[in-house]
Structure formats: structure tokens, C-alpha cells
Amino acid sequence: MALSNGEIREEIQRLSEELIQRQEPDGSWRFCFENGITIDACTIILLRTLNVDKEELIRQLHDRIVAAQQPEGCWRWYHDDKEGHLSATVEAYYALLCSGYSRPEDEPIQRAKRYILDRGGIGQARSLLTKAILAATGQRKWPASLSLIPIEILLLPESLPLNFYDFSGYSRVHLVPLLIMAERNFRTRSVRTPDLSELFLDARNGEEDPLTLTPESREPLKLIQSGLAHLVGTPRRIRQAAVNRAEQYMLDRIESDGTLYTYASCTVLMVFALLALGYEPQHPVIQRAVEGLSQMKFTVDSTGQWGTRYVTIQNSPSTVWDTALISYALQEAGVSSSHPAIQRAADYLRSSQHRRPGDWQIHNPGIVPGGWGFSETNTFVPDVDDTTAALRSLSALHGSEPAVLDAWNRGLNWVWSMQNNDGGWPAFEKNTNKEMLTWLAIEGAKSAATDPSEADLTGRTLEYLGNFAKLSVRQDWVARGADWLLSHQEADGSWYGRWGICYIYGTWAALTGLMAVGMPADHPGIAKAANWLIRIQNADGGWGESCRSDQVRRYVPLHASTPSQTAWALDALIAVHDRRAPEIERGVARLIALLHEDDWPSTYPTGAGLPGYFYVHYHSYRYIWPLLALSHYVNKYGDSSPER
């Protein structure tokens, strides 16, 4: 049954009031960026390897990992990961034993052991991060795939057809410490390091089969080798120069909190790499990195999926992202831009705008810094999505406050400058899209090695440009973005979204973007996408998509409705339909019901990091996207009658 506008407005008011009450004194909102148990496990292993005295944190992380174990003995990334995740289970098993709070004979450890052995042992774990942690701590050989990329690649000039900066920034910052450790064949152990050899069913103890390279995967290697031929000097001196360059690369990208690029994952790898270079565990750089990692912990007070209060390590706190989106959502819900909460958020966001140069300038020179990053300690790794999110939240203020106008202009100019040559927008760096790098025989390369135009980034950028910068397809560069989107639509009418799950996310971003810049609702591509969303609507009126979608690259239904995915689908349909459609009415009713439920769909990860290996449950998402969708519904339809 359709809800009245009064009932919907009550829900909008409830969400708005709760968010305003949760704002921090500095103007920010701080919600958990929860990403499985991988970072928790790696942190325990690192702390024990360094013999760092952080007993309370180790115990908290240990308890959280134990609580997340499934009855089958495994750990999962998401609810419908029915077979479990071998790499995550290996990481959890290793960390629990490293912690000292679990013993080999404990029942949870025995269940995990049986699960690992039943699936072929540790040698079958595919995650490159898992392999690296095992190799760095002496449990296995270094992955043969890392030998494909010689560390000397860091010395190649950017003018060559293929060089180090053709990799995405995200992959570079993880690849550098891996190359250092592999080059040194580094391994270290402490008295707390358990022996995992019995879990390798292959007698070679983690030594992989020789790599079989396809003709396609040989292409980037040929270009790399061709570039290396131009380096002058003895092999030993060239190698040492490359190692020195790699070391400096990491040191130059450490933020004020001690972390590398503000990511926990590459910070852990950096510390191991510094040990490989001869740094002592007590070195100030390592100590600061450990403190930075520790500060990334989040204490989740609500019962949630684990049934109790728990502590986790965030891979990168989402404070700027959440603050920008919440401020924007509150304003869409009717909170005045003069409200103290919006003013405080604006001050916080202006202080978070980047002024330092960053690697993004390599492919986009001559542009003044003006973007925003994901977390508040991030000062030189801006991204397009965070920047447009911040600009949306500042939109109502930029016409009346000179300081906000300056931030707005710098941000808009930065977003405009980041458009790729193909017309779309990337996440972090412009024109970092050489497809041959995705052919490398390295796990995860297909998704992480490059930073190409994506439908979600392009759609969200167009939505900002149309609804807030008041631009349209009448501007050539905006039209090029719309053309890119339409040319990358899937055959079924959907779009693939890289940073959310997945086809619902991409389709929402594309539809709202295309409508914002003036594309007609009856355009064949728009109509096809809207029909696709209606076709996949669940019987209960909501929407839900499995994390498996981004692994098989096709829509996989979740067979349950989640708050954020239901809100995305609704928001897209609201953007397209001039009048209330029955599907929208059912969706609104189900969305409001979902906000009062507390079962597994409410904590299902709908953020994406690396297909198959990294998914995110944004604790803020059950507030942000439902509030936006409901507000857009009321703002657009008012008391109009539904379609018949």
C-alpha cells in the first residue's frame, strides 16, 4: 500500500534529526568504513612481527575476527558468499594464532584448519595481499608474478610508451613495497610467528608453478623490457638506484598521521618493505606508521551483524566522503544552508580541500589543486567522486560567501580538468587507462592496474555539473561525457559501476547524470535502463544485488532488498519519471520498512574495492541514500497523483 506524503516526511524528519545529532563538534560526521577482517588480520600480524606493545588493540581485533567466523569454519566477504573466502580465512587463521589469544587446539582454529585443507591448503589462496603477508613472514615463497615487473621500472622516464606512472595510483602505492620485498627476497619472523607449513598440501611450501604467459600478457612485458634497455649503467648500480627510488617514493607519500596514502593496506606493506631495507622496528617512520594504523580503528557501538560491540581497522576512514554526502542529503531534505550543522560542515569541508600537488598532476599538469580526498588526513590524493560530493554540499553557499566561492571555483576547475580524452571521468588520475596493463598475469591487475573512465564516476560528475553547476549537453565537453556513458551501456540497459555494487549502482549514477544534463526521459538508452530497473525489482518492492556481480561482470540478484541499493534504484526512477509510478510507490514503502529492520541485508556490503577481494559496508549508507531518495520523491512529486 502506498504511503502518504505525511508518513514519508516523518521518515525524512527522523533521519535528518538523527544525523544532525550525530554531527561532531568539528562539523564532520564519522561513520565506520567497514571492510571485512582482512585489515584487522594484517594489523595483528604486523604488530606481532614488530613486537609492538598494543595488547588491548590486538585482543579487540582478535575477538572481532573470531566473532565473524562462520559455522563452516570459514570467513566470508558477504552474506551470500556461500563457499566462504579462502584468502580471508587464511588471513584470519594466521592472525588468530599470531595474536596468542587463540591456540592451535581451540575449536574455532580447528574448524578453520579443516576448511583450509578441504579447499586445497594455503597454496590455493589467490589474493596477492595474502601471498605477500605470508611471504614477508616466512611462510611461503614470494609470488612468481611479481618477478614480471622489475623494480627498475621506477626509473623509466614518463615519455616512454609504458612506464611506472601508467599504473593507477592505487596499484602503484601497493606495488612499490611489494617490489622492494620481492627484490630482497625478504622474510622475517618473531617468536610469536606460528608455523603454517602443515597447511600447504604441496610439498613445495608455497612455491608456485612457473608462470604460463599468454601472447596478450607478454605485450606489456615487452614494452617494459624495451624501456629498460635505455637505462645506462651497470645492472647492479641500476638495481640499487631503482631500490633507492622505490624507498623515496614511499617516504614522499606518507601523510601526517604516518600512513602511506592514508590506506591501511599499503601502510602494512610499507612497514614490511622498510624492514626489508634495513630499518629497525623502532625507527620513527615505522613507529608513526603503527600509530597511524592504530588510529584507523573504529569502535562500533551498535549490535549490528556481530551481535556485540566490536573494534575494526578501517582501510581508510571515510570522514570527508560521509560529511560531504550527509550535508548534501540534509539540504535536499529541507535543512537550510544557514543551519549551524550545514555551516559547520561547510567549514570542515573547506579546510579539507587540497592545496598540495599530487601524482594526479603527472597526467594533468598545470592545474591548480582543488579536489577533495576520502579521509581527513588525505592531503594530496584527491578523487573525482569526493570532489563532486563536496561541491554539492557547498552549492547553496558559494553564491553568498566569498571563501566558499573560491573553494567552489577551484573544485569545479579541477573536476573539469580531470575528464579523460575519451569523454568519461576516472576516479583518481586522468588518462591512466592503458588496457595492456590489465593483461599482466598478476591477481587483481584487471581491476586495479588502471584507472579508466567508469560509468559511476562519469554519471555522478554529470549529475553534479547539471544539477549544481547548471551545465548541460549544450556544452561540448558535457556532451562528450554523456556520449561516453551511452556508448558504454550494457546490452540489457544497465551500466557497470566500479565503486559500488554494482549494476544497480552504475545504472543509478548514469541515469541521474544523463537526466541532470538535459537528456530526454524518452531517449532509448534512458528508457531501456529504467525498464531494466523495474524488471529486476524484488517482489517485496525493494532492490538488492549480490557482490558476485562484479566478479562475473553481469547482474546477480541478491534475493533480498538492501537499503542503499533500493534507494539508488528509486532515485534513478524518480529522476526519469515525471509522475509517481506504481513501482516507485512500492519501492518507497519497502525502503522505509527497511530502515526499521536490523537483519543481514541492512549490513550487506554495497561498496566495492577490488572484485573478489575487497568489499565495503559503509555504515553511513543506510542514512544517506534513503534520505536522498525520499527527499527527491517529495520534492519532485509533492501531492501529485500516481501514474496509472
What are the residue numbers of the active site?
385
Task: Identify the residue whose cell numbers are 565506520.
Answer: 32
Q: Is 148 within 8 Å of 222 (Cβ atoms)? A: no
As a whole number of angstroms, the distance between CA 437 and CA 149 comes to 11
According to DSSP, the residues that pair with 310 across neighbouring strands are 300
| Closest of 333, 323, 474 to residue 386, by C-alpha | 323
Q: What are the backbone angles phi and psi of residue 253, rounded to the nearest 5°?
A: -115, 20
Residue 326, CA distances (Å) to 22, 188, 275, 307 in order: 11, 44, 41, 27
What's the count of helices (H) and strands (E) in the chain, helices before strands? 24, 5
Q: Which of 500, 509, 510 is nearest to 611 (CA)?
A: 500
* DSSP reduced 3-state for 497: coil
Which single residue is written with the C-alpha cell 578453520?
Answer: 112
* Phi, psi (rounded to 5 degrees) for 400: -120, -15
Q: Distance (Å, rounded) from C-alpha 360 to C-alpha 374? A: 15
CA distance 500 to 559: 18
DSSP per residue over 171-194, as a string? HHHHHHHHHHHHHHT-----TTPP
User: Could you give the CA distance from residue 106 to residue 444 in angstroms, rounded to a whole number?
Assistant: 34
Residue 502: asked if its preceding bond is cis (omega within 30°), the reply is yes
The grid cell for 532 is: 531494466
| 3-state class (DSSP) for residue 197 | helix
Joined together, the cell numbers standing for residue 413 give 576547475
Cell of 245: 627510488
Cα–Cα distance between 206 and 204 in angstroms, integer? 6
2, 240, 351, 366, 601 from 584: Cα distances, Å: 9, 62, 39, 46, 20
Q: How far apart are CA 609 and CA 174, in angstroms?
A: 14
Instruction: Please give the C-alpha separations between residue 636 and each of 5, 526, 569, in angstroms, as whole numbers.
Output: 12, 19, 16
d(CA 491, CA 486): 11
**Rounded Cα gap, residues 337 and 562, in angstroms:** 30
| Alpha-carbon distance values, 480 to 411, 424, 465 (Å) | 20, 7, 13
Assigned C-alpha cell, 202: 604441496
Strands 33-34 and 614-618, by their bridges, are antiparallel
CA pair distance 495, 482, nearest whole angstrom? 13
- Would you give the DSSP letter of residue 12? H
Which among 156, 142, 143 is positioned nearest to 238, based on CA atoms? 156
